[in-house]
Amino acid sequence: MTSLTWVEQNASLGVAEDLAYSTTLLRAVQHGVLSGPIVRIYRPEPTVSFGQQDTRMDGYDKAVQHSTQHGFAPMVRKVGGRAAAYHPGSLVIDHIQPEEDAMFGFRQRFEYFGELFTSTLQHLGVNAAVGEIPGEYCAGEYSVHAVLDDNHRIKIAGSAQRVVKGAWLFSTSLVVENGQAVRDVLTDVYSALGLDFDSRTAGAAEDAAAGVTVPDVIDELLAQYQREFLNGGHTGKDFYRLEGLSWQDLLRTVPSEPDKA
């Protein structure tokens, strides 16, 4: 039986290096340095992750300044979408998996992981659902939002994929605590970029379920993987056993190479 490797990163490599390490892991899986799927979870440093389109906007330089003023490091990611923000009250979850035809099932992966994260949050008392909210940041069909009341929904998670020959990366950022910091920085960033954004649509899981913490989400996500992913995988046809790996052991196997992003 194939192993699903579970790694909780306990120390930051640095803002740029943390982002680049996702690509390093993708290449490691692609070339067989790591076998089977791997999940890497970490609490990011305060970051505004800009999309490629953002860099071509007239207000991009001003948006970068706003990010810095709010204490968020501006970064540009390789995958699509618009600006998103996260911080240590958030989680980034990278799921990397070998696949002979990595483009096959591209949309189905969005559906599967959207439901997986929604179920995780529901088990923690969050009234969560999948779907875009009008006016949300980095709008996406498979955003995960929380319903606060009949007239108020907040985006709390967004995902993106990157595909290479023989492997794919599904990366999700999930805001758990301190949604106000995300609202504040994105309000100024989107204003500078000249993009529509309703600040009321930004928030955190704790806004929908008081007392929920980052460790709570990690624990429940692991339980969700054990309930769902190990017994069928994202296709419903594959079965895995869970194998924990320390962050230090992963780095020894796959050293950080930020210049390879």
Domain total of the chain: 1
pLDDT 10s digits, 43-68: 999 999 999 999 999 999 999 999 99
Q: What is the pLDDT of residues 195-238, one digit of tens each?
A: 999 999 999 999 999 999 999 999 999 999 999 999 888 888 88
- pLDDT confidence of residue 260: 53
Residues 6 or more apart whose Cβ sits within 8 Å of residue 119: 224, 228
pLDDT exceeds 80 at position 20: yes
Q: pLDDT at position 259, please?
A: 60
pLDDT (0 to 100) of residue 257 = 82
**For the segment 86-139, what is each residue's pLDDT rounded down to a tens digit?**
999 999 999 999 999 999 999 999 999 999 999 999 999 999 999 999 999 999
Collect all residues with Cβ–Cβ distance below 8 Å to 53 and sequence separation of at least 6: 80, 82
Quote the percentage of the chain above a pLDDT of 90: 91
Residue 258: band (very low, low, confident or very high) from pLDDT cuts 50, 70, 90: low
pLDDT at 153 (0 to 100): 98
Q: What is the 3 state secondary structure string of the chain?
A: CEEEEEEECCCCCCHHHHHHHHHHHHHHHHCCCCCCCEEEEECCCCEEEECCCHHHCCCHHHHHHHHHHCCCEEEECCCCCCCEEECCCEEEEEEEEECCCCCCCHHHHHHHHHHHHHHHHHHCCCCEEECCCCCCCCCCCCCEEEEEECCEEEEEEEEEEEEECCEEEEEEEEECCCHHHHHHHHHHHHHHHCCCCCHHHECCHHHHCCCCCHHHHHHHHHHHHHHHHCEEHHHCCEEEEEEECCHHHHHHHCCCCHHHC
Question: In which domain, by residue range, is 158 found?
Answer: 2-260
Residue 241, domain CATH: 3.30.930.10
The pLDDT value recorded for residue 36 is: 83
- Average pLDDT of the chain? 95
